[in-house]
A and B are shown apart, each in its own frame.
Chain A
Amino acid sequence: MSEVLERVRKIVIDHLDADPDKVTEKASFIDDLEADSLDIVELVMAFEEEFDIEIPDDSAEHILTVGDAVNYIQDKLAA
């Protein structure tokens, strides 16, 4: 498992108080992990802080699953 995935999973598990087994790359924040729209705003803020990056609102809109977040962050870190 990639390091980014592990860090993202940890944030998601902590923040949503989610069952670690459910926090897979495919998991949708809203459909599978019971996040609401405010949780998503907070998760994005937490990712920004953890990885020291900025995630503009129009990109954040496309981050729907754990995997989306990991891909976005990896691209951003590579750039």
Chain B
Amino acid sequence: MFELTGKTALVTGATGGLGAEIARALHKQGAKVVLSGTRENVLADLAAELGDNAFIAAANLSDSASVDGLVAKAEEAAGSGLDILIANAGITRDGLLMRMKDEDWDTVIKVNLEAYFRLARAATKGMMKRRSGRIIGITSVVGVTGNPGQTNYAASKAGMIGFSKALAQEVGSRGITVNCIAPGFIASPMTEELNDAQRATILQRIPAGALGNGADIAAAAVYLASNEAGYVTGHTLHVNGGMAMI
């Protein structure tokens, strides 16, 4: 089950905590993975770690032309058509709405939401021809629950969910599924800086009693990317330890 041999996947944000874990997990299941991000040295390190069947296609997702070219670039690097798109790159520019600068709004929407639209549009063409494909957007629990100080981020993540549902309906008859994964609180360099009191407050809200880790998200990605998940589409899979039951 969940075998991905013969499939080619593009993972954006592969230099980040979750993206790297997702890339490792898809690769472990047998997929060819194309790693994307802006930090080329970090991409090279991960590609070297994975060895065979790992390729690099760097791109800055705040540049529309680079985003539009990324799927073709990835297919060229891997030497095969794209079967799995994981739109994982994402940024925050937090601040109360009344103090939010235009630029903070624009950048977050551009990198989190607009890049997803551009990548999915480019990927869909080949997937339609091949009558199969998996498009997976990494959104956030915040896109469903909201969070003060994150109007821009919450809007971008909720936007990804609506986008995925609409596209899922457009391409469902062609063997392409479109889903989101919504992580809750995942351990990262950022959460390591929390003090004990802060950590305890957060954990009180999580029935599982612990922060999640990258592997929890990667497992969800492997599932949604697999042939076995072919009947699941337009869905948002929440991986949050029960922090929000939605």
Q: Which B residues lie within 8 Å of A42 (CB)?
A: 128-129
Q: Which A residues lie within 8 Å of B129 (CB)?
A: 42, 45
Using CB atoms, name the residue of chain A closest to B171.
Answer: A38
Q: Are B174 and A38 in contact (CB under 8 A)?
A: yes
Tally of A interface residues using CB under 8 Å: 4
Q: Are B125 and A45 in contact (CB under 8 A)?
A: yes
Q: Which B residues lie within 8 Å of A41 (CB)?
A: 128
Number of A-B contacts (CB under 8 A): 11
Taking the closest CB of chain A, its distance from the CB of B137, in whole angstroms, is 21
Taking the closest CB of chain A, its distance from the CB of B240, in whole angstroms, is 34
Complex CA distance for A41 and B170, rounded to whole angstroms: 12
Complex CA distance for A38 and B173, rounded to whole angstroms: 9
Kindly identify, within residues 1 to 57 of chain A, every residue whose CB is under 8 Å from any CB belonging to chain B.
Answer: 38, 41-42, 45
Taking the closest CB of chain A, its distance from the CB of B179, in whole angstroms, is 19
Interface of A: prevailing SS? helix
Complex CA distance for A41 and B173, rounded to whole angstroms: 14
Using CB atoms, name the residue of chain A closest to B172.
Answer: A38
Taking the closest CB of chain A, its distance from the CB of B98, in whole angstroms, is 41
Q: Are B125 and A38 in contact (CB under 8 A)?
A: no
Taking the closest CB of chain B, its distance from the CB of A60, in whole angstroms, is 14
Q: Which B residues lie within 8 Å of A45 (CB)?
A: 125, 128-129
Q: Which A residues lie within 8 Å of B173 (CB)?
A: 38
Complex CA distance for A45 and B128, rounded to whole angstroms: 10
Taking the closest CB of chain A, its distance from the CB of B93, in whole angstroms, is 34
Complex CA distance for A59 and B154, rounded to whole angstroms: 38
Complex CA distance for A33 and B176, rounded to whole angstroms: 24
Complex CA distance for A41 and B129, rounded to whole angstroms: 11
The contact string, 1 if C-beta is below 8 Å from chain A, for chain B 159-200, is 000000000001101100000000000000000000000000
Q: Which A residues lie within 8 Å of B170 (CB)?
A: 38
Complex CA distance for A37 and B125, rounded to whole angstroms: 14
Q: Which A residues lie within 8 Å of B174 (CB)?
A: 38
Complex CA distance for A38 and B176, rounded to whole angstroms: 13
Taking the closest CB of chain A, its distance from the CB of B174, in whole angstroms, is 7
List 11 contacting pairs A-B, 8 Å CB cutoff, sorted by A.
Answer: A38-B128, A38-B170, A38-B171, A38-B173, A38-B174, A41-B128, A42-B128, A42-B129, A45-B125, A45-B128, A45-B129
Other A-B contacts than A38-B170, A38-B173, A42-B128, 8 sampled, CB-CB below 8 A, are: A38-B128, A38-B171, A38-B174, A41-B128, A42-B129, A45-B125, A45-B128, A45-B129
